[in-house]
Structures are given as C-alpha cells and as structure tokens.
Amino acid sequence: MRWAAAAILLAGLALGTMACGGGDNRRARDKPRLVVSAAASMKEALEKCSPEFAAADVRLSFAGSDELAAQIRRGVKPDVYSAANTELPARLRREGLLEQPVKLVTNRLVVAVPRDSEIGSVEDLARPGSKLALGSESVPIGAYTRKLLSRLPANVARAILANVRSNEPDVRGIVGKLTQGAADAGFAYESDVRAARGKLRSVALPGTLQPSVVYAAGVVKNAPHPGAARRYLHDLAAGRCHTTLLAAGFGPTP
C-alpha cells in the first residue's frame, strides 16, 4: 500500500511538472517574434544581449547598413533597423519608411592588421605591394574610410587606394580578409578588432583624421510588432543591449 501511495504521489508530481512546463512553453509561444536588421559590426554584441530581451523572441539579421536599407525599400518588413551611421536612418525617415531614429552609440575607425603585422601607421599602408581591404563606398565603413583618406596628403591617399585589393560589402568582409591572410590591413571599427579575439590588433589613427562614427536606429513604419520594437529600441539606446555594446568597445553618444 505504501508503494502504491508513493507511486500515486510521484505521478501527481510528474503531472504538475508537465503542467508547469506546458505553461512555460505557452508563454514562449505567446511572445512576438521581433525581427531586427542591424549593421554587421553590431553582431557579437547583439547576439549576446538579445536573448535576454524579455518582451519578444528576437531574430537578428546582419548585413551592410546600405543593403538592409535597400531591403526595407523593397518591402521587407523588419521591426527595427539599426545602421552604422545616422544618414541612412534619416533618409528612411524622410521616405516615410522609419519612425523617428535615435542615436545609439559611437565607434572609432582604426587600421586593423594581423597580430604579427609590422604596420604601425596609416602612412605604412602606402607602401608598394601592400594588400588592403576596404569597405565599398556605399556602406558606412567605406564612406568613413574615404572621408579619412580625403584628410591625408593627396599623394599618400592615392598610394593607399592603389593598394586596395577588395571593396567589401560590410565590415565583416574586411575582418574575414584579414584573418584569412588575404589582406595585410584594412580599415575597420575598434569594436571589430576586439571581437576578433586576439587575431587582429588596431593601429590608432590621429584625431585629426578620425571621422565621427555614430550609430542610429529606428522602428520600421508599420512594423509587425511596433510595441515590442519600441521597447527593444529603448534597450539599444539605454538598457541591457546598450550596456553590452559599450562593453564590446562602442562608445557613448555625446
């Protein structure tokens, strides 16, 4: 009889556990699926913080900021769009495709090189035979790079551009070329060098050359889940994800 009573008790506990698990599963299913399109340079930080966002099940999509903006113009409907500059979100806002964007974080442009490289200055990139990877002109990293080059003496800038072997669609392409040994150096963000976990090092640029790198984001107009999207945007600007971005090497906005 005691064994029978114990069996009944265990069965009841098991059913209770199943019921609790079912409730947890239902709560997970009830969460909206939030799609976030973000600049490739934000990948490591957002993959770390987004699973902790309680208001939604976040699905992340990364690419060059210009490509993600083009997708929105073609009718793709993510909930949140985050870019590595302020110009693309502002343009989407003027086109009626994005709610008012907010500034999130800053970053610093650096010369990224393999850990054992002898390159020590931006002028070293002008040496004949150097293989460089840049961002394409349409993506923020490429636009920032060309702004920097325009501040160099014209002959140095021309020599650097003559050494370019590839123009990448996003900063991750530049990092990939460097870690694979296909390029000797490239212009990237300080946060990307940190994310390479020791495979790369950064060569600092003089302050007179440094462009202003500011990230901005906004909720896409007629987003599938606007309420959760606005909460996620706040998290990027001032919450857990903002803290994670700062820890990853991004800087605060002025």
Residues β-bridged to residue 109: 189
CATH of range 31-107+214-247; options 3.10.310.30, 3.40.50.9100, 3.40.190.10, 3.40.50.920: 3.40.190.10
Q: Return the ∠ at Cα 139 (arms to 147 and 144), rounded to 5°.
A: 20
This prediction's pTM: 0.86
Domain spans in the chain, listed from the N-terminal domain onward? 31-107+214-247, 109-203
**Residue positions counted in the chain:** 254
Q: Note down pLDDT in tens along the chain; length 254 residues.
A: 443 333 333 344 343 444 444 444 444 557 899 999 999 999 999 999 999 999 999 999 999 999 999 999 999 999 999 999 999 999 999 999 999 999 999 999 999 999 999 999 999 999 999 999 999 999 999 999 999 999 999 999 999 999 999 999 999 999 999 999 999 999 999 999 999 999 999 999 999 999 999 999 999 999 999 999 999 999 999 999 999 999 999 999 98
The hierarchical CATH code for the domain 109-203 is 3.40.190.10
The tally of CA atoms less than 13 A away on the side-chain side of residue 29 is 6
Do the domains spanning 31-107+214-247 and 109-203 agree at the CATH topology level?
yes
Closest CA to 65 of 87, 96, 35: 87
Give the ranges where the chain is alpha helix by DSSP (H): 2-30, 43-49, 65-73, 87-94, 140-149, 154-162, 171-179, 190-195, 226-238, 240-247
Q: At 76, which amino acid appears?
A: V
